[in-house]
């Protein structure tokens, strides 16, 4: 099995090198995706002291002959498929495993500040200082995550940190059953931790699923300036509908080295760098992962332990405790989209300094079995009046009941509400918007 996989990998790389020879010769200057290291000192991605190029990554220059485009497109899809088997721990064909990760993550308050700044808004701080919950600086907080994994829908994950809201335990028992245990009377930032900490390590190529078979992919050869060349895959027909009704442009540029190891994931505002690889079973796992948002370090993960796990002797780790609470279903890639049937806008209050807010507000909500919306209480903060106004409006929206195996289920989602100074338009009436999409 391992020999066959390596043979396939070698064949793909040989085909890719041959296919890119005329293409590379035609390029005067290689394209550099955002976050691609520029240093000539090391083959690893740049350290957090470097300044990544923040220009949005560009698709490889198109070849004139349709046959060449089709050939590279087919090769790119094959390369993505092979790379998924090389890089993802949360995939098929792996024996059960146990992992420990130490992480540093920008505090929730600081993330709000950066998000507001990117959207043209400002955070009111009073005396100009900000203390993160649980101690530490307002910039970075530390924590750990430990996971016991026996399959895609059989795992448990324990988060621990000085920040109160970053403590909790998750269990996945089946496709539908998901349990959670959090400290009493304290919110648990599970979505933030899963997306910013664990997913980049365990399932770094999850966004590859956003490129449907109809997506036209291009391959470009780029160099970080250290003598290596990476093969970067990007989408050239970004409006192709993908899973969940999302457009293919949601798939960022992904760059691989000569061993098919994922080295960089790059989008317009986010770059994820992978380095210090550990062979595990038939995969390559990055022991150090850095996430940069708008050129600033947002999180850094260090894998301190990765080993086999035997459910026969340690199966208790996979069983929810008696105090664990069953959670609403979380929509995954490939699931049908939510279908919105009624939306209404609201009047947005001014910020504390009298200026209007511009940007996108995300409201965490539960879509009940009948399609009605329960907007969850937003956290307090400088945007509280804005969040309250949007939450009240969203709570009056209506969706078609969401069905799993033919039965309606409660679904937890983040509903995005765009505030741009223009009259509100429901998502299902916006040009180019996928029907029922909850992200504008």
CA end-to-end span of the chain: 44
CA–CA gap between residue 398 and residue 402 (Å, rounded): 11
The two structure tokens encoding residue 362: 């995300």
CA–CA gap between residue 203 and residue 89 (Å, rounded): 6
**For strand 253-256 and strand 262-266, is the pairing parallel, antiparallel, or unpaired?**
antiparallel
Dihedrals phi, psi of 65, to nearest 5 degrees: -80, 125
Q: Is 179 helix (H, G, I), strand (E, B) or coil?
A: strand
The two structure tokens encoding residue 111: 């993330």
The hierarchical CATH code for the domain 340-429 is 3.30.2420
CA–CA gap between residue 372 and residue 224 (Å, rounded): 50
CA–CA gap between residue 319 and residue 171 (Å, rounded): 7
Give the burial string for 110-121 (b: 16+ CB within 10 Å, else e). bbbbbbbeeeeb
The two structure tokens encoding residue 222: 């780029």
Nearest residue to 145 (alpha-carbon basis) of 166, 172, 164: 166
The two structure tokens encoding residue 392: 């009240």
Residue 436 Rama label (left phi>0; alpha psi -120 to 50; beta):
left
CA–CA gap between residue 237 and residue 217 (Å, rounded): 8
Q: pLDDT value at position 1?
A: 46
Instruction: From first to last of the 440 residues of the chain, give the pLDDT tens digit.
Output: 444 445 445 445 444 544 444 444 334 344 567 776 543 333 333 333 333 333 334 444 444 556 678 888 888 889 998 998 899 898 778 999 999 999 999 875 555 444 444 444 443 333 333 333 333 344 788 999 999 999 988 999 999 998 888 999 999 998 888 999 988 778 888 988 999 999 999 999 988 877 777 788 888 888 877 778 899 998 887 665 554 444 445 688 999 999 999 999 998 889 999 999 999 999 999 999 999 988 889 999 999 999 999 999 999 999 999 999 999 998 877 788 899 999 999 999 988 888 888 988 888 899 999 999 999 876 666 788 888 999 999 999 999 999 987 889 999 998 989 898 889 989 888 765 544 444 33
CA–CA gap between residue 240 and residue 238 (Å, rounded): 6
What 8-state DSSP symbol labels residue 102? E
**For strand 178-181 and strand 217-222, is the pairing parallel, antiparallel, or unpaired?**
unpaired
Q: Is 407 exposed, middle or buried (0-12, 13-18, 19+ CB in 10 A)?
A: exposed
CA–CA gap between residue 407 and residue 151 (Å, rounded): 24
Q: Is 2 helix (H, G, I), strand (E, B) or coil?
A: helix
CATH 3.30.2420 maps onto the chain at 340-429
Q: Is 25 exposed, middle or buried (0-12, 13-18, 19+ CB in 10 A)?
A: exposed
For residues 204, 412, 160, 98, the Cα torsion angle rounded to the nearest 10 degrees is: -50
What CATH topology corresponds to 1-327?
outer membrane lipoprotein receptor (LolB), chain A (2.50.20)
CA distances from 76 to 6, 69, 213, 218 (A): 18, 10, 11, 7
CA–CA gap between residue 5 and residue 23 (Å, rounded): 27
Nearest residue to 158 (alpha-carbon basis) of 99, 105, 87: 99
What 8-state DSSP symbol labels residue 207? G
CATH 2.50.20.10 maps onto the chain at 1-327
CA–CA gap between residue 149 and residue 90 (Å, rounded): 8
CA–CA gap between residue 428 and residue 339 (Å, rounded): 9
Nearest residue to 19 (alpha-carbon basis) of 59, 76, 64, 57: 76
């Amino acid at each position: 099995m391992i020999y066959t996989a390596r043979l396939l990998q070698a064949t793909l790389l040989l085909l890719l090198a041959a296919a890119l020879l005329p293409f590379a010769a035609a390029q005067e200057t290689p394209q550099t995706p955002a976050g691609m290291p520029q240093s000539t000192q090391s083959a690893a991605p740049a350290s957090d002291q470097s300044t990544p190029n923040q220009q949005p990554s560009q698709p490889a220059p198109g070849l004139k002959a349709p046959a060449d485009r089709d050939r590279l497109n087919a090769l790119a899809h094959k390369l993505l498929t092979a790379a998924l088997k090389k890089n993802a721990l949360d995939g098929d064909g792996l024996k059960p495993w146990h992992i420990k990760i130490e992480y540093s993550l920008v505090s929730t308050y600081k993330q709000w500040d950066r998000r507001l700044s990117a959207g043209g808004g400002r955070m009111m701080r009073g005396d100009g200082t900000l203390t993160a919950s649980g101690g530490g600086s307002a910039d970075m907080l530390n924590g750990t995550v430990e996971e016991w994994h026996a399959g895609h829908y059989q795992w448990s994950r324990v988060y621990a940190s000085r920040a109160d809201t970053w403590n909790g335990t998750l269990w996945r028992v089946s496709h539908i059953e998901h349990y959670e245990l959090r400290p009493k009377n304290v919110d648990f930032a599970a979505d933030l931790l899963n997306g910013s900490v664990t997913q980049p390590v365990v399932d770094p190529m999850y966004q590859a699923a956003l490129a449907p078979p109809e997506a036209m992919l291009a391959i470009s050869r780029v160099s970080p300036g250290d003598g290596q060349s990476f093969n970067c895959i990007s989408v050239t027909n970004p409006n192709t509908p993908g899973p969940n009704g999302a457009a293919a442009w949601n798939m960022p540029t992904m760059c691989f080295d000569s061993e098919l190891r994922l080295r960089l994931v790059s989008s317009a505002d986010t770059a994820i760098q992978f380095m210090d690889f550990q062979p595990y079973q038939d995969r390559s796992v990055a022991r150090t992962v850095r996430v940069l948002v708008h050129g600033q370090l947002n999180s850094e993960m260090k894998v301190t332990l990765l080993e086999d796990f035997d459910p026969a002797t340690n199966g208790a780790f996979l069983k929810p405790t008696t105090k664990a609470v069953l959670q609403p279903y979380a929509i995954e890639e490939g699931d049908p989209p939510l279908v919105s049937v009624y939306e209404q806008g609201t009047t947005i209050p001014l910020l504390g300094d009298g200026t209007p807010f511009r940007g996108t507000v995300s409201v965490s909500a539960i879509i009940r079995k009948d399609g009605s919306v329960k907007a969850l209480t937003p956290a307090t903060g400088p945007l509280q009046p804005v969040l309250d106004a949007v939450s009240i409006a969203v709570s009056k929206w209506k969706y078609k009941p969401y069905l799993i195996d033919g039965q309606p289920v409660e679904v937890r989602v983040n509903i995005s509400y765009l505030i741009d100074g223009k009259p509100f338009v429901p998502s299902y009436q916006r040009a180019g918007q996928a029907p029922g999409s909850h992200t504008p």
